[in-house]
Structure 1
Amino acid sequence: MLPRLQYGTTAKVFHWLIVALLIVQYLIGWLMPDLHRGQQPGKGMVFHISFGITILLVILLRFVWRLTHPVAPESSLPPWQRLSSELVHWMLYVLVLATTLSGWLFASFRGWSVSYFYLFPLPMLAGDNAAAGKAIDGLHQAAEWTLLVFVGFHVLAALAHLFVYRDRVMQRMLPG
């Protein structure tokens, strides 16, 4: 399949849906109280885990869509910008995957019984293990901060293309 020159509606919907879900996810994560050993997750954690699973599913769908519907890099970009763009996009995929899976593992190691938006129980990926839970919590936090840094790079690059370079690169992902 030959790469297209523009992103289609489906790719744009996936992109902006992930943006919205990540905003909600970070807000929930920052606003919910800390949980200590022996505590069961409350509503905040159930929604945090549920949004994480939703993000995981959407990012996997987006990844499959990207592989099966490639879009050619903007031809006007210098090689270093094309390379850095690809690197940042792949890092975003890896970091979303690492963040969501480490969060799910953390809940599993804590021995929590959680559900997907209170609709059905989620399978646990591992058994109760306090030491592993502590270690994976550190990895989860590192992944979420690293993801936020790469999202920041992505947003700054998009704004640079919009306001500095004025090369219409950002318009390829805008609705319309």
Structure 2
Amino acid sequence: MLPRLHYGTTAKIFHWLIVALLVVQYPIGWLMPDIHRGQQPGVGMILHISFGISILILIVLRLAWRLSHPVAPESTLPPWQRLSSELMHWMLYFLVLATTLTGWLFASFRGWSVSYFYLFPLPMLASDNAAAGKAIDGLHQAAEWTLLVFIVFHVVAAFAHMFIYRDRVMQRMLPG
């Protein structure tokens, strides 16, 4: 399959849904109370995990869509920008996957029974293990902060293309 020049509607919907969910997810994660050993997660944690699972599902679908519907890099960009753009996008995929999976593993290692928006229980990825839970929590936090840094760089680059370079690269992902 030959790469197209612009992102299609499906790719744009995946992208902007993930953006919207991350905008909701980060404040929930930062504002929810700590849950100590022996406690069951409350509404904040259930929402945080449920949004995380939603993001995980969407990023897997987005990745599958990207692989089956490739879009050619913008031909007007210098080679270093094309390469850095590709690397940035693959790092974003990796970090979203790492952040969501480590969060789910953390809940599993804590032995929490959690549900997806209170609709149905989520399977545990591992058994209750305090030491592993502590280690994976550190990885989850590192992944979430690293993801945030990459998101900031991604947004700064998008704004640079819109307002400094004025090369219409950003138009490829805008709705419409």
Name the TM-score, length of structure 1 as normaliser. Answer: 0.99
Alignment of 1:9-158 (within 5 A): 9-158=9-158
1:21-70 alpha-carbon deviations (Å, 9 max, x no partner): 11111011011011111111000000100000000000000000000100
Separation in 2, partners of 1:87, 1:37: 39
d(CA) in 1 for partners of 2:137, 2:162: 37
Residue 105 of structure 1 deviates from its aligned partner by 0.3
- Aligned residues, how many? 176
C-alpha distance in 1 between matches for 2:11 and 2:65: 7
Aligned partners of 2:85 and 2:74: how far apart in 1? 10
Identity %: 85
Distance across 1 between alignment mates of 2:15 and 2:116: 22
Distance 1:41 1:115 in 2: 10
Unaligned residue ranges in structure 1 (runs of 5+): none
| 1:3 equivalenced with 2:3 (yes/no) | yes
Measure the CA separation in 2 of the matches of 1:127 and 1:11.
36
Q: What's the CA shift string for 1:85-118, capped at 9, x where partnerless? A: 0000000000000000000000000000000000
Q: CA RMSD in A?
A: 0.5
* Off by >2 Å, runs of 4+ in structure 1: none
For 1:94 and 1:124, the matched residues in 2 are separated by 22
